[in-house]
Structure 1
Amino acid sequence: MKPLFVALAFLFLATAPASAALTPAELGKVGIDMPKDAHLPLGEKFVASTGTPMTLGEALAGKPGLMVIADFTCRTLCGTAIAMAADAAAKSGLTPGKDFSFVVVGFDPRDRPSDAAAMKAEHINDGPVKKNAVFLSGSAEAEAAVTNAVGFSYAYDKADDMFAHPTAAFAVAPNGRVTQVLTSMSITGDKVRLALVEASHDRIGTIADHIRLLCYGLDPASGVYNAGVLTWLRIGGGAIVTLLALGIAGMAFARRERPRRTG
């Protein structure tokens, strides 16, 4: 997974001044290398862009969530990444604040709630996602707890006062387990919907959504399903097999009953 996110990290340097001083070795450490069974530190304390203190768990509010990690004073693509994730969430067909939470966590401890508020105001369109989005800034320790939990690595360019970092959105289960990583540059409403349905542990989504997960959760390289889909298959697979069998039987019956053409 990491090489893809390393490549994405270079997008942030593409628009940086020519004097960017990061070495290839430093850039090589930038990316997302998510630990197995990654869980967010839900008890870490932050401050929302409104100035309200809250934990990460309170921001997720017991719902599946879509989380973005960003630099609130970024001069390159952070705003674009947030805008694309918010737009995809708005097109998911799910209701923000009811079906899922949208959370953006800052990773630069120098950023203040006012910086988070400015980023939110500028880069998310008016609507339900913006109304329910929570932007969090916090101490170096709290922010590091989040970035370390998901293997989010970045590098600081002191000469230009900017960061090289990956861009992605994380689908998170209500208990804080990270279930999917979605690249910000290819995120869509459909991908967000299926990721959140999976993260919800069957709390949201239609039967059709869950059937689609049989394809969505399959890794074509290894031919195996991810952990979340395997759990769902163990719980609901029998029902799906029954539904598919009934559907096939129905089609076969209809074929037998179809009148033969004459002449």
Structure 2
Amino acid sequence: MRTRSLRVAWAVALVLLVTAVPASAQRQERLPKDLEGVGITEHPGVRLPLDLEFTDENGAPVRLGQYFSGDRPVILTLGYYRCPMLCTLVLNSLVDGLRDLPWTPGREFEIVTVSIDPTETPTLARLKKQNYLEEYARPGAAGGWHFLTGREENIRKLADAVGFGYRYVQERGEYAHSAAIFVATPDGRMARYLYGVVYQPKTVRLALTEAGQGKIGTTVDQLLLYCFHYDAQEGRYVVAASNIMRFGGATTALIVGLWLAVSWRRGARKKSLERSDPQT
């Protein structure tokens, strides 16, 4: 009976694995045209081009390097201020993650938010900053959270250094991009990539602590926001249910596999005990 149950469980696990890992050999899905080139490629340890020039929310010219003082880590976000959905989710979640931290931007760390849209203005950046400072409601944070705009050339150079791939969708007048925030060391090296639209306070604190110590890490679980896909027809990001189901299938397959391993070991131990028992 046990043998039959194990065979059934193995069959279930195999089916789940086949359906859960589309990137293997089962099928190769082409990304929608609007998502070609969109994604994140981690560049741990890469030094950011700190000589790049941008414009801050007050209209003043700034160099990226002036936010890397050498003694504070930096949270970097890339998006655009007129983004209809994803950028707002990212920044809202960042505020939520920071709210429970005792640290304040400008004291223990810096935040640099850069628009990927070269047509956006310092006025728009200033309004965006005001909105998020009100939401954050942290005294003293204004001096440590910077909202920048810039030229296409410099934006691309920064995005390429980070590994942030994005694409302008001409038909919609919007940008397709992934959701993540980035943490850099005080001297401007890429240290951590935090994906999705939920940033737990403990995770943010650990990332800032390690980056502040100059530690460089890689992400094991890259749950890029392909759980969301840009829908050019709808003009917004929509939930990619199939990806969520695949992730769930892979998780289930792993659980079944672990159960099988435990069952096999228990069975083997029982047989070993039965053989060693002189009464059997």
Runs of at least 4 residues of structure 1 off by over 4 A? 217-221
Structure 1 unmatched runs, 5+: 1-22, 203-212, 222-263
2:183 maps to 1:183: no
> 1:79: Cα distance to partner?
1.9
| Compared CA separation, residues 181 and 36, structure 1 to 2 (3 A) | closer
After superposition, the C-alpha distances for 1:1-57 in whole angstroms (9 at most, x for unaligned) are xxxxxxxxxxxxxxxxxxxxxx71441421101235322111111111022221111
Q: Number of paired residues?
A: 186
Aligned counterpart, 2:43? 35
| Equivalent residues of 2:34, 2:169 under 8 A apart | no
After superposition, the C-alpha distances for 1:94-152 in whole angstroms (9 at most, x for unaligned) are 23211100110111111111111122222342324345210111111111111010111
Distance 1:46 1:192 in 2: 26
Cα RMSD (Å) of the superposition?
Answer: 2.3
TM-score by length of 1: 0.64
| Equivalent residues of 1:102, 1:129 under 8 A apart | no
2:162 maps to 1:162: no
Q: How does 1:120-199 map to 2 (within 5 A)?
A: 120-124=129-133, 125=135, 126-127=137-138, 128-199=140-211
| Equivalent residues of 1:85, 1:184 under 8 A apart | no
Aligned counterpart, 1:54? 62
| Equivalent residues of 1:84, 1:184 under 8 A apart | no
172-181 vs 125-134, which deviates more?
Answer: 125-134
Structure number with the bigger relative contact order (C-alpha 8 A, sep ≥ 6) is 2
**Equivalent position amino acid for 2:53 in 1:** K
Aligned counterpart, 1:248? none
Using the aligned pairs only, state the percent identity. 30
Aligned counterpart, 2:115? 106
Distance 2:128 2:96 in 1: 15
TM-score by length of 2: 0.61
Structure 2 unmatched runs, 5+: 1-30, 222-280
Query: Which of 88, 92, 100 is the equivalent residue of 2:97?
Result: 88
Distance 1:178 1:105 in 2: 16
Distance 2:91 2:48 in 1: 19
